[in-house]
């Protein structure tokens, strides 16, 4: 098999997981890492065992050995890095959100289409085998017609005023914080599992921690603060609840927040249908709850032999051997690189992978929620 060269821009919290996932594929060479400075590029490359470390993404794009660029920079750099990579004819794996605004996201959709490159966004929870099992179960009618979706995505790493992330600075994270950062995952998963688009939203947003200590240096995601820094006012939401309408009159609601003690990465999605319900919880990701009215509820444990044959290949270990976030991330990368390896004309990404169109749609949903909240909680069309 022809080997494929990958380059990573932004090796903070999530970037190294992109490297782990592609290394596992066996036919991908991690060629280079680009950091925010020469020193950080070199240090990151060394610590990740990557041959070349660059001080700017432009140098990485100039490297002819890099065919696929992974963009794991903070949000404000997404558009420029992704757009430049596409202009150089590189395939692109952008971490979410696709850009800072819907307008930028739409431009990227068009740029990628014109260039004919493979372009994907990492809405990685789709890669979990039991998420795929849920999707297949809905599609084959196991739960009947869905009528209600609910759940939440709660974390606690921004609970204290000493906690800080660039996500809370609209110049770096965008107009939305918690909704754009993690609410977008919930919406993507809800639409992916049911095949139903979100059409209308009604949002109630708030900023629980109104002032925080901003550190003088950079701090990567999930790192607790130590009280060092200067006080800054926070204007973006760290907590939100949203009523949702899907196509076909299907109703839903979800809450997101990064200020909820004890919730580490607590993404929960339940779909209630005419016959039964399904619930998947990221923190117990090897289980799928199936709720019945006239018989005992069930818990399907992840076990390849019990999964639909279309899903089985996403489980890499026998039953009882827990799989994790990183395995789901790998599944997404495997699908993306499968398309790249097929060569031009590149096949369309399989449904499990979020496209740039999906990334654009995620932006439009967040825009509509912000608009709804600004209107005092009015129903707003996406």
Ligand X SMILES: NC(=O)c1ccc[n+]([C@@H]2O[C@H](COP(=O)([O-])OP(=O)(O)OC[C@H]3O[C@@H](n4cnc5c(N)ncnc54)[C@H](O)[C@@H]3O)[C@@H](O)[C@H]2O)c1
Q: Choose one: 66-74, 192-200, 279-287, 359-367; the region binding ligand X (CB under 6 A).
A: 66-74
* Block residue for tokens 């757009």: 83
3-state SS record for 57-120: HHHHHHCCCCCEEEECCCHHHHHHHHHHHHHCCCEEEECCCCCCCHHHHHHHHHHHHHHCCCEE
Q: Does 151 bind ligand X (CB under 6 A)?
A: no
Q: Does 95 bind ligand X (CB under 6 A)?
A: yes
* Comparison of 176 and 194: residue with beta carbon closer to ligand X: 176
Residues 287 and 280: their CA atoms lie apart, in Å, by 7
The residue from 19, 21, 32, 36 that contacts ligand X (CB under 6 A) is 36
* Comparison of 94 and 380: residue with beta carbon closer to ligand X: 94
Q: Choose one: 102-110, 132-140, 154-162, 213-221; the region binding ligand X (CB under 6 A).
A: 213-221
* Comparison of 40 and 213: residue with beta carbon closer to ligand X: 40
The residue from 82, 102, 124, 155 that contacts ligand X (CB under 6 A) is 124
Minimum CB separation of residue 281 from ligand X in Å reads: 16
Q: Does 221 bind ligand X (CB under 6 A)?
A: yes
CA atoms within 13 A on the CB side of 150: 9
Residues 178 and 148: their CA atoms lie apart, in Å, by 23
The residue from 91, 96, 214, 263 that contacts ligand X (CB under 6 A) is 96
Minimum CB separation of residue 330 from ligand X in Å reads: 13
Q: Does 57 bind ligand X (CB under 6 A)?
A: yes
Q: Does 177 bind ligand X (CB under 6 A)?
A: no
The residue from 6, 11, 118, 311 that contacts ligand X (CB under 6 A) is 11
Minimum CB separation of residue 247 from ligand X in Å reads: 26
Residues 187 and 25: their CA atoms lie apart, in Å, by 29
Q: Does 14 bind ligand X (CB under 6 A)?
A: yes
Residues 88 and 79: their CA atoms lie apart, in Å, by 14
Give the distance, in angstroms, between the CA of residue 362 and the centroid of all CA atoms in the same chain: 10
For residue 285, give both structure tokens: 């990701």
Kindly give the pairing relationship between strand 28-34 and strand 52-54. Answer: parallel
Q: Choose one: 20-28, 33-41, 186-194, 367-375; the region binding ligand X (CB under 6 A).
A: 33-41
Q: Does 77 bind ligand X (CB under 6 A)?
A: yes
* Comparison of 72 and 143: residue with beta carbon closer to ligand X: 72
Q: Does 34 bind ligand X (CB under 6 A)?
A: yes
Q: DSSP of 170-238, one letter per residue? A: HHHH-S-SHIIIIIHHHHHHHHHHH---EEEEEEEEE-S--EEEE-SS---TTPPP-S-SEEEE--S-S
The residue from 9, 61, 159, 234 that contacts ligand X (CB under 6 A) is 9
Q: Does 176 bind ligand X (CB under 6 A)?
A: no
* Block residue for tokens 């990064």: 258
The residue from 220, 228, 287, 375 that contacts ligand X (CB under 6 A) is 220
Handedness of CA 127, 130, 134, 139 (dihedral sign): positive
Q: What are phi and psi of 267, to 5 degrees?
A: -100, 120
Q: Does 289 bind ligand X (CB under 6 A)?
A: no
* Comparison of 168 and 202: residue with beta carbon closer to ligand X: 168
For residue 6, what are the β-bridge partners?
30, 68
Which residues form the interface with ligand X (CB under 6 A)? 9-15, 34-36, 40, 57, 72-75, 77, 95-96, 122, 124, 181, 218, 220-221
């Amino acid at each position: 098999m022809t080997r494929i060269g990958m380059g990573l821009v932004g090796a903070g919290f999530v970037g190294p997981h992109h490297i782990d996932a592609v290394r596992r594929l066996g036919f991908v060479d991690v060629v280079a890492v680009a950091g925010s400075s020469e020193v950080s590029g070199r240090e990151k490359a060394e610590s990740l065992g990557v041959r070349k470390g660059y001080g700017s993404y432009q140098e990485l794009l100039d490297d002819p050995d890099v065919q696929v660029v992974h963009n794991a920079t903070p949000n404000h750099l997404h558009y420029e890095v992704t757009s430049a990579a596409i202009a150089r004819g590189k395939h692109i794996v952008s971490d979410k959100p696709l850009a800072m605004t819907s307008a930028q996201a739409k431009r990227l959709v068009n740029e990628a289409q014109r260039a004919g490159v493979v372009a994907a966004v990492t809405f990685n929870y789709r890669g979990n085998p039991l998420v795929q099992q849920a999707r297949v179960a809905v599609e084959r009618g196991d739960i009947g017609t869905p009528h209600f979706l609910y759940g939440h995505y709660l974390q606690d790493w921004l609970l204290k005023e000493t906690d800080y992330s660039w996500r809370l600075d609209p110049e770096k994270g965008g107009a939305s914080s918690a909704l754009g950062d993690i609410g977008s995952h919930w919406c993507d998963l809800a639409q992916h599992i049911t095949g139903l688009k979100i059409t209308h939203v009604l949002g109630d947003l708030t900023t629980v921690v109104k002032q925080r200590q901003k550190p003088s240096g950079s701090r990567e995601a999930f790192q607790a603060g130590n009280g060092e820094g200067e006080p800054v006012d926070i204007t973006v939401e760290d907590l939100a609840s949203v009523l949702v309408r899907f196509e076909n009159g299907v109703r839903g609601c979800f809450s997101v927040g990064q200020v909820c003690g004890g919730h580490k990465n607590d993404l929960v999605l339940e779909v209630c249908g005419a016959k039964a319900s399904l619930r998947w919880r990221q923190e117990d990701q090897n289980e799928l709850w199936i709720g019945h009215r006239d018989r005992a509820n069930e818990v399907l444990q992840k076990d390849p032999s019990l999964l639909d044959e279309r899903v089985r290949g996403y489980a890499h270990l026998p039953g009882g051997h827990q799989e994790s976030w990183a395995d789901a991330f790998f599944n997404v990368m495997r699908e993306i690189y499968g398309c790249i390896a097929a060569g031009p004309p590149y096949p369309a990404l399989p449904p499990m992978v979020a496209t740039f169109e999906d990334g654009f749609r995620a932006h439009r949903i967040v825009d509509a929620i912000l608009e709804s909240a600004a209107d005092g909680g009015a129903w707003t069309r996406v």
